[in-house]
């Protein structure tokens, strides 16, 4: 069974002050009326609607101004979250909107509903992220989040350094070997080409015998 009520306070998912809504009779009787969140829809109660609308407009204007200032403030912040992660930066778990909200409260004393932090999926790797905030129907914001590993990066061992140097040296050695090989192949080729270009000398006629010349 449903009944009509006038909301006297903003109720997320139901409506704001002055809204006339239909709700379950038991919900109105056991929760809304005792908490003074609504009143029955009667002719006498309708007189309160204008005052409720005025209060609602003031509340929404205050929320808009507050969230606009919050958006400006958080855009300058970087929320640092430390997690356990492997050497490849992959975390043992993930960072959720609830964790970000908790860190905002802990680091900057900013109370923000986790539902206003928009994450398409939990963050699973270390690094920097720019997170979208849905602060108000007309106000968006961004927050920088840096996820750092609690596990310190181990210093490279002498063996690892030597292996890295050897790996870096190997291409240079191979490059010199290739250059030397090319030079050895090229040298006889050049000599052969030069020999082909050089004209052959004409054969000299044998000298006549001196006695034959005198006769």
Q: Determine the Cα–Cα distance for residues 205 and 147; give it in Å rounded to an integer.
A: 96
Closest CA to 126 of 151, 148, 97: 148
Contact, 70 vs 135, CB < 8 A?
yes
Q: Determine the Cα–Cα distance for residues 115 and 67; give it in Å rounded to an integer.
A: 14
Contact, 17 vs 53, CB < 8 A?
yes
Based on DSSP, count helices (H) and strands (E) in the chain, helices before strands.
5, 9
- Cβ-based neighbour number of residue 49 at 10 Å: 15
Q: Determine the Cα–Cα distance for residues 84 and 93; give it in Å rounded to an integer.
A: 8
Contact, 80 vs 144, CB < 8 A?
no
Q: What is the DSSP string of 148-191?
A: EESSPPPPPPHHHHHHHHHHHHHHHHHHHHHHHHHHHHHHHHHH
Q: Are residues 58 and 114 in the same domain?
A: no
Cross-strand bridge partners of residue 149: 83
List the single range of 9-23, 42-56, 150-164 with lowest mean pLDDT: 150-164
Domain that holds residue 86: 75-149
Q: Are residues 16 and 32 in the same domain?
A: yes
Q: For residue 118, is it within any domain?
A: yes
Q: For residue 195, is it within any domain?
A: no
pLDDT exceeds cutoff 70 at 184: no
Q: For residue 175, is it within any domain?
A: yes
pLDDT exceeds cutoff 50 at 214: no
Q: Are residues 65 and 86 in the same domain?
A: no
Strand arrangement of the beta sheet that strand 38-40 belongs to: 20-24, 2-7, 38-40
Number of domains in the chain: 3
Instruction: Show which of 39, 71, 103 is a domain's final residue.
Output: 71
- Please identify which residue in the block is written with the tokens 């000599």: 191
Instruction: Show which of 50, 71, 92 is a domain's final residue.
Output: 71
| Tokens describing residue 31 | 């929760």
pLDDT in tens, 119-132: 988 899 999 999 99
CATH number at residue 50: 3.40.5.10
Instruction: Evaluate if pTM is beyond 0.75.
Output: no
Q: Are residues 38 and 101 in the same domain?
A: no
pLDDT in tens, 24-75: 999 999 999 999 999 999 988 888 899 999 999 999 999 999 999 999 999 9
C-alpha distances in Å from residue 125, one per residue of 25, 72, 122, 203: 49, 27, 10, 86
Buried b (16+ CB within 10 A) or exposed e, 2-40: ebebbbbbbbeebbbbbbebebeeeebeeebeeeebbbe
Q: What is the pLDDT of residue 152?
A: 61
């Amino acid at each position: 069974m449903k009944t009509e009520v006038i909301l006297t306070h903003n109720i997320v998912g139901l409506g704001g002050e002055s809204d006339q809504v239909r709700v379950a009779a038991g919900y109105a009787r056991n929760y809304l009326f005792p908490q003074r969140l609504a009143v029955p829809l009667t002719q006498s109660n309708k007189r309160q609607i204008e005052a409720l609308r005025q209060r609602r407009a003031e509340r929404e204007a205050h929320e808009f101004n507050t969230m606009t200032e919050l958006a400006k403030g958080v855009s300058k912040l970087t929320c640092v979250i430390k997690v356990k992660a492997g050497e490849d930066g992959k975390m043992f778990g993930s960072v959720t909107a609830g964790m970000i909200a908790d860190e905002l409260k802990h680091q900057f004393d900013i109370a923000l509903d986790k539902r206003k932090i928009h994450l398409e999926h939990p963050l699973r790797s270390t690094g920097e992220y720019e997170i979208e905030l849905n602060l108000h129907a007309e106000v968006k914001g961004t927050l920088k989040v840096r996820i750092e590993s609690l596990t310190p990066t181990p210093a490279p061992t002498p063996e690892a350094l030597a292996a890295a140097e050897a790996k870096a040296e190997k291409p240079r050695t191979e490059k010199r070997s290739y250059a030397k090989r090319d030079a050895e192949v090229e040298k006889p080729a050049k000599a052969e080409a030069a020999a082909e270009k050089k004209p052959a000398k004409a054969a000299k006629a044998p000298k006549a015998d001196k006695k034959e010349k005198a006769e």
